[in-house]
Amino acid sequence: MALIVQKYGGTSVGSVERIQSVAKRVRETVQGGNTVVVVVSAMGKTTDGLVGLAKQISPNPSRREMDMLLSTGEQVSIALMSMALQEMGQPAISLTGAQVGIVTEAEYSLARILEIKTERMQRHLEQGKVIVVAGFQGISSIDELEITTLGRGGSDTSAVALAAALKANLCEIYTDVPGILTTDPRLVPQAKLMDEITCDEMLELASLGAKVLHPRSVEIAKNYGIPLVVRSSWTDDPGTKVVSPIPKPRPLVGLEITKAVDAVEFDTDQAKVALLRVPDRPGIAARLFGEIARQNVNVDLIIQSIHEGNSNDIAFTVVKNALLKAEAVAEAIAPALRSHPANDREAEVIVEKQMAKISIAGAGMIGRPGIAAQMFKALSAANVNIEMISTSEVKVSCTIAPDDCDRAIQALCEVFEVEDSPVCANNIAIGFAAAQGAIASSNAPPVRGVALDINQAQIAIRHVPDRPGLAAQIFGVLAQKISASIQLFNPNAVVLSTIIPPAILPLLSHKPMQK
Ligand code: ASP
Ligand code: MG
């Protein structure tokens, strides 16, 4: 007998008919010999409606009252779902987040789950009941019991966290699309359904704006190895499996705030090629990397940064023994790239023959800006100067001087409590050629999905001195001021820029940084 957590989104429970049809599916799952915990969202666009009501009363309502208000949407759904099940003769009980004991941080509107009590749920399950839990909400128990919410779209996170706490065999996310598509079908009608996607790929796509799954739910699935499926509540099609390797066991206490970093990786075999002042127009990167690819050179980090005027700097790293080839390509292309026809300044090629790359790997890096800040601070304390930075939801990588590598590894293993010996990234790096080899054997396409996020703003800080501690200082401030996502582009001696949600722009002061 399997324990299955099924989550139904707003459209799946958007009307009485939909609720009845979901109840039927739940009932059938039980009749198939399974124990079922159901998590539901608010009906249809209820949450948006509640936000609209609040805005009519206050342009800037208190976050506490917002959580009080928004949590009511899910409470309607659980009661109706439970009634629908009972009406079919299926014993069921609805529970709010507080009644279950979904304990969160004392942080309104974006709370992370600390722990989920399972005693009461176990008792009801043993009585043969289906439990219908309100998604998106929890309770903080620091001083007084306060209703909290997990952030918009957070019911997915409730469901996967419940699955982790109950050690469920499967978590199914039912939605109004057939599963995870290669891109947004409203923009690209040819978008295809994927049978399977890895948690890492999903995290990248989710944080880039694919709205199917709340990224934090994928983080939990990855950390606790929860078998996760995204499928349509309208059909019986199997949907998309979100898979991950079996993780190391971790405690269920501190569920969403456990270690974000599970490995420190390094690679001392890197060299850098930078093209300075290339024109800021379409086709430049395509030309450069097209030629590099034709020469069969593996490229690792690629960073483009804005420049004064209408030019860019593009820097990339390659393995040391490919440097000569890469440099030759860059030198050959540079003269043709004139950014200012008027003054005839040519793009300039700069090469660094030896550098090291150090990375922290895990889940939820962008969602937790404090992690990158912590990395930069540790490197700064070890007096390591960072050259290039690249961030993604599953990795933050910095290039540094090779002589600093040992110190950097030690510092990072210490702050992030990584006990295993750090992983040499040479063994796991997949460059262009390696990827092509892998594809030939597995016939998976090199690009698995494309996500669009139009809700981004960029801030750039110019004239940042190139010395240890500056990235740490800047990121420390950003992480402190905003708990929302920050995505770093490129720091170097000239500009450090980062992508943030536009809503938080006003929170950042315009005071110049201390040099
Ligand atoms: N009802 C909440 C929202 O609309 C949570 C959810 O549906 O996941 O954001
Ligand atoms: Mg959703």
For β-strands 338-340 and 311-319, DSSP reports them as unpaired
Nearest-angstrom CA–CA distance, 5 and 127:
17
Question: pLDDT tier at 451 (50, 70, 90 boundaries)?
Answer: confident
Cβ-proximal residues to 475 (8 Å cutoff; 6+ apart), any chain: 369, 372, 373, 376, 486, 488
Of all ligands present, the nearest one to the C-alpha of 74 is: 1
Is residue 433's pLDDT more than 60?
no
Percent of the chain's residues with pLDDT above 70:
86
> For residue 239, what are its two tokens?
């949907």
Question: pLDDT tier at 427 (50, 70, 90 boundaries)?
Answer: very low
For residue 9, the ligand 1 atom closest to its alpha carbon is 7
> For residue 385, what are its two tokens?
């100067």
Give the pLDDT of residue 20: 98
Question: pLDDT tier at 512 (50, 70, 90 boundaries)?
Answer: very low
Domains and CATH numbers, the chain: 3-243 (3.40.1160.10), 263-418+450-508 (3.30.2130.10)
Give the pLDDT of residue 514: 43
Give the pLDDT of residue 440: 37
- Kindly give the interhelix angle for 63-87 and 46-57, rounded to the nearest 10 degrees: 150
Which alpha helices (DSSP H) does 166-271 contain, by range? 199-207, 215-224
Residues 68-97 have a mean pLDDT of 98
| Span from the CA of 365 to the centroid of ligand 1 (angstroms) | 23
Give the pLDDT of residue 492: 45
| Span from the CA of 173 to the centroid of ligand 1 (angstroms) | 13
| Span from the CA of 72 to the centroid of ligand 1 (angstroms) | 11
The region of weakest confidence among 87-91, 289-293, 455-459, 479-483 is: 479-483
Give the pLDDT of residue 506: 62
For residue 154, the ligand 1 atom closest to its alpha carbon is 8
Is residue 208's pLDDT more than 80?
no
Percent of the chain's residues with pLDDT above 90:
57
Name the residue of 8, 39, 51, 70 whose CB sits within 8 Å of the most ligand 1 atoms, as the mutation to test its pocket. 70
| Span from the CA of 152 to the centroid of ligand 2 (angstroms) | 8
Give the pLDDT of residue 513: 40
| Span from the CA of 47 to the centroid of ligand 1 (angstroms) | 6
> For residue 346, what are its two tokens?
């040519």
Residues 289-318 have a mean pLDDT of 84
Residue whose C-alpha is closest to residue 410's, from 401, 397, 400, 419: 419
Nearest-CA residue for ligand 1 atom 4 is 47
Helix, strand, or coil (residue 175): strand
- Kindly give the interhelix angle for 470-481 and 369-381, rounded to the nearest 10 degrees: 150
Give the pLDDT of residue 485: 58
Pocket of ligand 1 (CB under 6 A): 9-10, 41-42, 47, 73, 135-136, 152-155
Q: Provide the whole-model pTM.
A: 0.83
Is residue 170's pLDDT more than 80?
yes
Is residue 271's pLDDT more than 70?
yes
The region of weakest confidence among 65-69, 152-156, 465-469 is: 465-469
Of all ligands present, the nearest one to the C-alpha of 70 is: 1
Residues 177-199 have a mean pLDDT of 90
For residue 42, the ligand 1 atom closest to its alpha carbon is 1
| Span from the CA of 108 to the centroid of ligand 1 (angstroms) | 15
Name the residue of 43, 45, 47 whose CB sits within 8 Å of the most ligand 1 atoms, as the mutation to test its pocket. 47
For residue 214, the ligand 1 atom closest to its alpha carbon is 8
Conformational region of residue 22, where left means phi above 0, alpha means psi within -120 to 50, and beta covers everything else = alpha
- By CB atoms closer than 10 A (0-12, 13-18, 19+), residue 87 is exposed
Name the residue of 51, 66, 113, 136 whose CB sits within 8 Å of the most ligand 1 atoms, as the mutation to test its pocket. 136
Question: pLDDT tier at 237 (50, 70, 90 boundaries)?
Answer: very high
Give the pLDDT of residue 368: 78
Question: pLDDT tier at 384 (50, 70, 90 boundaries)?
Answer: very high
Is residue 432's pLDDT more than 80?
no
Residues 136-161 have a mean pLDDT of 94
Nearest-CA residue for ligand 1 atom 5 is 153
Is residue 439's pLDDT more than 50?
no
Cα radius of gyration (the chain): 25
| Span from the CA of 289 to the centroid of ligand 2 (angstroms) | 37
Of all ligands present, the nearest one to the C-alpha of 159 is: 1
Question: pLDDT tier at 390 (50, 70, 90 boundaries)?
Answer: confident
Is residue 367's pLDDT more than 80?
no
Question: pLDDT tier at 436 (50, 70, 90 boundaries)?
Answer: very low
Give the pLDDT of residue 78: 98
Give the pLDDT of residue 469: 83
Nearest-angstrom CA–CA distance, 515 and 495:
13
| Span from the CA of 336 to the centroid of ligand 2 (angstroms) | 48
Give the pLDDT of residue 478: 75
Nearest-CA residue for ligand 1 atom 9 is 152
- Mean pLDDT across the chain, nearest whole number? 86
| Span from the CA of 92 to the centroid of ligand 2 (angstroms) | 24
Is residue 280's pLDDT more than 70?
yes
Nearest-CA residue for ligand 1 atom 8 is 153
Residue 383: its H or E element: none
pLDDT one-digit tens code per residue, 332-353: 888 877 655 544 566 789 999 9
| Span from the CA of 179 to the centroid of ligand 2 (angstroms) | 12
Q: Which residues pair with 230 in a beta bridge?
A: 173, 240
CB 251 within 8 A of CB 190: no
- By CB atoms closer than 10 A (0-12, 13-18, 19+), residue 135 is buried
The region of weakest confidence among 26-40, 154-168, 296-310 is: 296-310
For residue 41, the ligand 1 atom closest to its alpha carbon is 7
The region of weakest confidence among 6-10, 85-89, 220-224, 296-300 is: 296-300
CB 30 within 8 A of CB 130: yes
Residues 197-208 have a mean pLDDT of 85
| Span from the CA of 134 to the centroid of ligand 2 (angstroms) | 14
Name the residue of 41, 109, 158 whose CB sits within 8 Å of the most ligand 1 atoms, as the mutation to test its pocket. 41
Give the pLDDT of residue 505: 63
Of all ligands present, the nearest one to the C-alpha of 44 is: 1
Of all ligands present, the nearest one to the C-alpha of 149 is: 1
